[in-house]
Amino acid sequence: MNRVLKIGLRSSTIIAAYILLAGCAGQQDNAERLPGSNPIITDAFTADPAPLVVGDTVYLYTTHDIATGDVLYAMNDWLVYSSKDLRHWQAHGPAMREADFSWAEANNSAWAAQAVEKDGKFYFYAPVKHKEPDRGFAIGVGVSDSPTGPFVDARGSALVTNSMTTVGRDYDQDIDPTVFIDDDGTPWLMWGHFTCFLVKLKPNMTELDGEIRTIELPDFTEGPWLFKREGRYYLAYATIDEDNPGNERIAYAMAPAITGPWEYKGLITGEARNSFTIHPGIIEFKDQWYFFYHDAQLTIGDLKPATGRRAVAVEYMDFNPDGTIRPITQTDAGISGEPGS
């Protein structure tokens, strides 16, 4: 399917999904919930989970949906939570706000972000809309001595701007950054919306190192997440299947090197419940792999689930002997039971 058709499909699907969800009641009985049940975060509407393991603790960075009424998306800060068992989460408030990037428009465009640790410092990569003249989504980087922040703008300017990516979609292709630090210490930044971009970062984590390249993947839509296991590189991403259109699903590819060749391996999981979008966050923690995502099933007060009111969830993730990922079923139970139960 050509790009114009894909864009049309996405817009119409968003609107259809939104109308469908507007009348949809959410599940809610937090008193009955076992720790580790989905959604795992219930004090706010959260999406786009980005977990980070630091010693015996997992820090979970999320976007923060504050949309009310008919507003599709409204997000102006990123929240951070922590847990030592992934079942009990402590809220630490906003890790960063889009207004912390002085070059950003600051108009509710704090979309999917990710934090990584390098040499005792924490770096937070985040998309926000850039002010004139380089309008469109851009990627900034924050830095902090603490995983809970507060993060401050590390550069005073965007790391990636719209004018730096001239292929693919204009205006909103520079979103959803994921940063992966390879075993030799080389950091890589990947991001994109219908085009998947990859570039090496300098060791200071705040400058690009070389040319921006593109990675070809079937039906790449957004939300890339890079990780490595047993010498193999994995790239999970949100996809809309051109032959079976609907909501986003999560697919993945594997490669012998981060620059490729990337081989498509199929779906990790299907459409999120009640949500047009879905977004992966994958970690190994205490010898178990976990798959974080979001759906829209949470009600808070009078606010019902919607495309712009999502909730972060988690499932166990397992691999086959050949390294491929076993398909994941999205559940209410989440990780409240033992793996494989």
Tell me the closest approach of the beta carbon of residue 277 to ligand FUB, in angstroms. Answer: 4
Q: How far apart are CA 127 and CA 113, in angstroms?
A: 7
Tell me how far, at minimum, the Cβ of 34 lies from ligand FUB, in Å: 27
Residues in the chain: 341
Tokens 């300017």 locate to: 157
Query: Is residue 322 exposed (0-12), middle (13-18) or buried (19+ Cβ within 10 Å)?
Result: exposed
Q: With respect to ligand FUB, which residue has the nearer C-beta, 35 or 270? A: 270
Residues 6+ away with beta carbon under 8 Å from 5: none
Nearest-5° Cα angle at 13, 310 to 42: 5
Shortest distance in whole angstroms from residue 338 CB to ligand FUB: 30
DSSP 303: B
Q: Which is nearer to ligand FUB, 77 or 318 (CB)?
A: 77
Tell me the closest approach of the beta carbon of residue 275 to ligand FUB, in angstroms: 8
CB nearer to ligand FUB: pick between 48 and 153: 48
Alpha-carbon span 262 to 283, nearest angstrom: 20
Q: How far is the CB of 111 from ligand FUB (least distance, A)?
A: 4
Q: C-alpha 189: how far from its chain's center?
A: 13
Cβ 176 to ligand FUB, closest distance in Å? 5
| 111 vs 233, beta carbon nearer ligand FUB | 111
Backbone angles phi, psi at 108, to 5 degrees: 65, 45
Cβ-based nearer residue to ligand FUB, 33 or 268: 268
Binding-site ranges for ligand FUB (CB under 6 A): 47-48, 63, 73, 111-112, 175-176, 222-223, 277, 279
Q: Which is nearer to ligand FUB, 122 or 276 (CB)?
A: 276
DSSP for residue 208: B
